[in-house]
């Protein structure tokens, strides 16, 4: 595949300088701050991340601080951002940075790549933004822009990495190049809308004004499986509500929930709450029980002190159980 990026595309960089969104992680080159922003933004929208970003550094001002905190506290701080695996990886990576790099975020791309939860694209972003290295980024936004720009809708990741790397190699400012490609995909060349009329690269792009959005949407078929869960609520007027910690792997790993039983078929009544994950639709049916709770778990009075999955949070909200000493 021939790259169109034999020279850096100046109009893109000029557009970026004029139009970049003023986001807090764009005012720093501190690798700790960039790393956390990149991980938070992986599967969570900017508007959700914004208020949580500064809160994070108030709770965990340094990598050292983060590494010494129990994992449960980190999961609690992650509540509402979803995909909790990311918080577990951040915690493990902070400990690796302390053990292996004396608490200083590594500067070499290969070293960054060894940290838990950091793949090639995130490592590329950190290395270019913080250390001005010529390392490419290939997140979902950049992939989409490259496919459209080159009219290569079926391109493999390997082909896209090659193009992205060629572009970075030709760029004098790898950080700005990566940022501008990410920003273009996030704002003008979106999956559902391509604003080709105001796009700074519309004279270079091979898909400009060619209805790329329809092609993208027709390919987007995500298989979602329905799952029916009974949420057993053991509530006690003085002791609170019985919670268990989920296993280390699987849905809601390491978070706290009431005992859950998977039902083999859909109950006739309506669920109390439906929670959507990437490949699962969880139908949650709450059931109050007066029997003795299972042996593993504990009584909890203040739910706000525990990391609850968003789905359980909503279910408790609907049952008026949140942030109260339970009295049913
Ligand atoms: S011209 Fe249109 S399709 Fe091409 S990069 Fe710009 S917005 Fe995307």
- What CATH number is attached to the domain comprising 109? 1.10.340.30
Claim to verify: residue 166 and residue 124 sit in the same structural domain: yes
Claim to verify: residue 161 and residue 245 sit in the same structural domain: no
Would residue 287 count as lying in a domain?
yes
Mark which of 167, 192, 218 sits at the end of a domain.
Answer: 218
Claim to verify: residue 294 and residue 238 sit in the same structural domain: yes
| Best mutation site among 4, 11, 149 for ligand 1 pocket (most ligand atoms within 8 Å of CB) | 149
Backbone φ/ψ region at 209: left (φ over 0), alpha (ψ -120 to 50), beta: left
**284 DSSP β-pair partners:** 229, 273
User: What is the pLDDT at residue 317?
Assistant: 84
Tokens of 264: 């083999």
Kindly report the CATH number assigned to the domain that includes residue 236.
Answer: 3.90.79.10
| Best mutation site among 199, 210, 211, 214 for ligand 1 pocket (most ligand atoms within 8 Å of CB) | 199
Q: How far is the CA of 41 from the centre of ligand 1 (A)?
A: 23
Q: How far is the CA of 195 from the centre of ligand 1 (A)?
A: 7
Supply the range of the domain harboring residue 270: 225-318
Q: How far apart are CA 103 and CA 326, in angstroms?
A: 42
Q: How far apart are CA 32 and CA 67, in angstroms?
A: 12
Would residue 327 count as lying in a domain?
no
User: What is the pLDDT at residue 137?
Assistant: 97
Would residue 1 count as lying in a domain?
no
Segment 48-57, tens digit of pLDDT: 999 999 999 9
Q: Where does the pLDDT of residue 213 fall: very low under 50, low under 70, confident under 90, or very high at 90 and above?
A: confident
Q: How far apart are CA 317 and CA 117, in angstroms?
A: 31
What number of other Cβ atoms are within 10 A of residue 240's Cβ?
A: 20
User: What is the pLDDT at residue 219?
Assistant: 60
User: What is the pLDDT at residue 321?
Assistant: 77
Would residue 244 count as lying in a domain?
yes
Q: Where does the pLDDT of residue 325 fall: very low under 50, low under 70, confident under 90, or very high at 90 and above?
A: very low
Segment 88-102, tens digit of pLDDT: 999 999 999 999 999
Would residue 4 count as lying in a domain?
no
What is the average per-residue pLDDT within 260-268? 94
Q: What's the total number of domains in the chain?
A: 2
Claim to verify: residue 165 and residue 230 sit in the same structural domain: no
Q: How far apart are CA 267 and CA 141, in angstroms?
A: 40
Tell me whether residue 68 is one of the annotated catalytic residues: no
Residue nearest to atom 8 of ligand 1 (CA): 189
Q: Which atom of ligand 1 is nearest to the CA of 199?
A: 6
Claim to verify: residue 199 and residue 256 sit in the same structural domain: no
Q: How far is the CA of 208 from the centre of ligand 1 (A)?
A: 5
Claim to verify: residue 199 and residue 107 sit in the same structural domain: yes
Q: Where does the pLDDT of residue 273 fall: very low under 50, low under 70, confident under 90, or very high at 90 and above?
A: confident
Q: How far apart are CA 223 and CA 280, in angstroms?
A: 8
Mark which of 172, 201, 218 sits at the end of a domain.
Answer: 218
Claim to verify: residue 176 and residue 38 sit in the same structural domain: yes
Claim to verify: residue 214 and residue 183 sit in the same structural domain: yes
User: What is the pLDDT at residue 2?
Assistant: 40
Q: How far is the CA of 201 from the centre of ligand 1 (A)?
A: 7
- Of 191, 187, 185, the residue nearest 217 (C-alpha): 191
Q: Tally the C-alpha atoms within 13 A of residue 118's C-alpha that lie toward its C-beta.
A: 30
Ligand 1: lining residues by beta carbon, under 6 Å:
145, 148-149, 188-189, 194-196, 199, 201-202, 205, 207-208, 212
CA distances (Å), 230 to each of 261, 289, 307, 325, 326, in order?
5, 11, 20, 22, 19
Q: How far apart are CA 34 and CA 175, in angstroms?
A: 12
Q: Which atom of ligand 1 is nearest to the CA of 148?
A: 3
User: What is the pLDDT at residue 318?
Assistant: 80
pTM for the model stands at 0.78
Q: How far apart are CA 1 and CA 156, in angstroms?
A: 11
Claim to verify: residue 95 and residue 200 sit in the same structural domain: yes
Would residue 266 count as lying in a domain?
yes
Query: Looking at the predicted structure, is the pLDDT value of residue 214 above 70?
Result: no
Would residue 279 count as lying in a domain?
yes
Segment 226-236, tens digit of pLDDT: 999 999 999 98
Would residue 325 count as lying in a domain?
no
Q: Which atom of ligand 1 is nearest to the CA of 200?
A: 6
What number of other Cβ atoms are within 10 A of residue 65's Cβ?
A: 12
Mark which of 170, 199, 218 sits at the end of a domain.
Answer: 218
Q: How far is the CA of 328 from the centre of ligand 1 (A)?
A: 57
Claim to verify: residue 145 and residue 237 sit in the same structural domain: no
User: What is the pLDDT at residue 319?
Assistant: 78
């Amino acid at each position: 595949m021939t790259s169109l990026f034999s020279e850096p595309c100046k109009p893109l960089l000029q557009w970026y300088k004029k139009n970049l969104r003023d986001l807090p992680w764009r005012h720093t080159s501190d690798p700790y701050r960039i790393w956390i922003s990149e991980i938070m933004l992986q599967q969570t929208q900017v508007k959700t991340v914004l208020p949580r970003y500064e809160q994070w550094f108030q709770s965990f001002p340094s990598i050292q601080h983060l590494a010494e905190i129990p994992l449960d506290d980190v999961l609690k701080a992650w509540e509402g951002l979803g995909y909790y695996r990311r918080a577990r990886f951040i915690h493990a990576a902070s400990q690796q940075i302390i053990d292996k790099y004396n608490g200083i975020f590594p500067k070499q791309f290969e070293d960054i790549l060894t940290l838990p939860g950091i793949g090639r694209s995130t490592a590329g972003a950190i290395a270019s933004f913080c250390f001005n290295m010529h390392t490419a980024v290939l997140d979902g936004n950049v992939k989409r822009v490259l496919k459209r720009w080159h009219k290569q809708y079926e391109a493999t990741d390997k082909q896209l990495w090659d193009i992205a790397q060629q572009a970075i190699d030709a760029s004098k400012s790898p950080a700005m190049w990566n940022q501008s490609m990410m920003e273009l995909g996030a704002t003008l060349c979106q999956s559902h809308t391509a604003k080709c009329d105001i796009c700074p690269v519309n004279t270079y792009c091979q898909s400009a004004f060619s209805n790329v959005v329809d092609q993208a949407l027709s390919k987007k078929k995500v298989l979602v499986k329905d799952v029916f869960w009974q949420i057993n609520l053991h509530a006690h007027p003085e002791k609170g509500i019985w919670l268990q910690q989920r296993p280390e792997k699987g849905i809601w790993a390491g978070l706290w929930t009431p005992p859950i039983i998977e039902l083999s078929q859909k109950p006739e009544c309506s669920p109390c709450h439906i929670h959507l994950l990437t490949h699962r639709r969880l139908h949650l049916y709450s059931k109050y029980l007066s029997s003795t709770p299972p042996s593993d778990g504990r009584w909890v009075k203040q739910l706000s002190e525990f990391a609850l999955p968003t789905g359980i949070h909503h279910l408790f909200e609907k049952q008026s159980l949140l942030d109260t000493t339970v009295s049913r």
